[in-house]
């Protein structure tokens, strides 16, 4: 029987560690979550981040601005958060409305407060192996693999998907653990031939049914980052029938999902320590 790797279980251990760490701090880390507009998914994600941060005892607020907020107004807000000594973490929820240049906004966040790990300074440090705030979803995936004692040293890791939020930073983290890393994507020829090589197969595409059972090697470890709404159900990128061929897998929902917010809060505490100590 394959091991079902529950993200809820791992997130619980992250929260327990953070609670312990916070009890020894003489200050309360502060997070500001910035959202433009009322896109339902963004409203729900930003509320969840704020709720979990408050439950942990952080000083957290959602700064919800109107959809029509100009780029200049948003940059002004970020500048004021950057210069506010009491603020440790800044997160701007993506996607942003099309009249705002998201890259410019990300680059305007002070790297030491960039708890998403999206600023080019943190991206560069991630690849060079320096001290960096790491993107939350990839960091959460590594945490799950560590929790379930999955060794990456010398293993074939195949990442399907090359987004700046998941695929690319995950490749850097896996390389940092001495895996042999392949990044496949929508233009990859014969995707199945590539995925069948994987000891650890991570799907981060956002398309249901991307990975079918025939694309999985017996005993592979499967990590599913997909969150796709099909009717009233949430499904991943990996067909559940493929789980039976694996030695371990993350389900959807309840796998990688719960880790993203946990790692955001871990990053906020990390940012506070690096800034204040
Ligand atoms: N939108 C989807 N995922 C993310 C994320 O990890 N961070 C931010 N800021 N926006 C997102």
Q: Does the Cβ of 136 fall within 6 Å of ligand 1? A: yes
Half-sphere exposure of 226 (CA within 13 A, CB side): 26
pLDDT digit string, tens, across residues 107-132: 999 999 999 999 999 999 999 999 99
- Closest residue by Cα to atom 1, ligand 1, is 94
**Please, which pLDDT band fits residue 49 given cuts at 50, 70 and 90?**
very high
> pLDDT tens digits, residue range 80-106?
999 999 999 999 999 999 999 999 999
pLDDT band of 135, cuts 50, 70, 90: very high
Taking a C-beta distance cutoff of 8 angstroms, is the pair 202, 141 a contact?
A: yes
Angle between helices 40-56 and 7-23 (to 10 degrees): 50
CA of 214 to the centre of ligand 1 (A): 32
Q: Outline which parts of the chain fall under CATH 3.40.50.720.
A: 136-256
Q: How far is the CA of 258 from the centre of ligand 1 (A)?
A: 13
The predicted structure's pLDDT at residue 16 = 98
Residues in contact with 189: Cβ distance below 8 Å, sequence separation at least 6, in sequence order: none
Does the beta carbon of 114 sit less than 6 angstroms from any atom of ligand 1?
no
Q: What are the tens digits of pLDDT across the range 169-226?
A: 999 999 999 999 999 999 999 999 999 999 999 999 999 999 999 999 999 999 999 9
Question: According to the model, what pLDDT value does residue 237 have?
Answer: 98
Q: Say what the pTM is.
A: 0.97
Which strand ranges, in their side-by-side order, compose the sheet holding 221-224? 3-4, 248-249, 221-224, 200-203, 156-160, 180-184
- Nearest Cα residue to atom 8 of ligand 1: 93
Atom of ligand 1 nearest to the CA of 135: 6
Contact (Cβ atoms closer than 8 angstroms) between residue 90 and residue 110: yes
The reply to whether ligand 1 has any atom less than 6 angstroms from the CB of 91 is yes
Dist. CA 182–CA 168, nearest whole Å: 10
pLDDT at 109: 99
Average pLDDT value over all residues in the chain: 98
Mutual orientation of helices 167-176 and 136-147 as an angle, nearest 10°?
A: 40
Q: Which of 64, 114, 165 has most ligand 1 atoms within 8 Å of CB, for mutation?
A: 165
In this predicted structure, what is the pLDDT of residue 272?
98
Q: How far is the CA of 261 from the centre of ligand 1 (A)?
A: 10
pLDDT band for 253, please (50, 70, 90 cuts): very high
pLDDT at residue 162, rounded to an integer: 98
CATH number of the structural domain 25-111: 3.40.50.10860
Q: Is 123 in the pocket of ligand 1 (CB under 6 A)?
A: no
**Cβ of 94 less than 6 Å from ligand 1:** yes
CATH number of 136-256: 3.40.50.720
Q: How confident is the model at residue 55 (pLDDT cuts 50, 70, 90)?
A: very high
Q: Which residues are catalytic?
A: 49, 93, 116
Residue intervals of the chain classified under CATH 3.40.50.10860 are 25-111
Mean pLDDT of 43-64: 98
Ligand 1 atom at minimum distance from 91 CA: 9
The ligand 1 atom nearest the CA atom of 137:
6
Q: Any bridge partners for residue 64, and if so which? A: 35
């Amino acid at each position: 029987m394959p091991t079902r790797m529950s993200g809820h279980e791992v997130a619980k251990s992250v929260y327990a560690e953070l609670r312990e760490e916070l009890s020894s701090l003489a200050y309360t880390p502060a997070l500001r979550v910035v959202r433009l507009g009322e896109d339902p998914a963004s409203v729900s994600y930003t509320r969840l981040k704020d709720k979990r941060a408050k439950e942990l005892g952080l000083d957290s607020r959602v700064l919800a601005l109107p959809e029509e907020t100009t780029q200049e107004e948003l940059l002004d807000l970020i500048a004021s958060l950057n210069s506010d000594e009491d603020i440790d973490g800044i997160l701007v929820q993506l996607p942003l409305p099309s009249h705002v240049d998201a890259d410019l906004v990300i680059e305007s966040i002070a790297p030491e407060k960039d708890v998403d790990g999206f600023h080019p300074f943190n991206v560069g440090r991630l690849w060079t192996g320096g001290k960096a705030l790491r993107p939350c979803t990839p960091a959460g995936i590594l945490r799950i693999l560590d929790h379930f004692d999955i060794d990456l040293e010398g293993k074939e890791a195949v990442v399907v998907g090359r987004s700046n939020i998941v695929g690319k930073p995950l490749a850097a983290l896996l390389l940092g653990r001495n895996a042999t890393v392949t990044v496949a994507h929508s233009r990859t020829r014969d995707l199945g031939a590539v995925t069948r090589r994987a000891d650890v197969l991570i799907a981060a595409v956002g398309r249901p049914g991307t990975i079918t059972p025939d694309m999985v090697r017996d005993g592979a470890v499967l990590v599913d980052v997909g969150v796709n709404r099909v009717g009233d159900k949430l499904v991943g990128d990996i067909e559940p029938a493929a789980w039976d061929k694996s030695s371990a897998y993350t389900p959807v929902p309840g796998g990688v999902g719960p880790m993203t917010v946990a790692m955001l809060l871990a990053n906020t505490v990390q940012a506070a320590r690096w800034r204040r100590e």
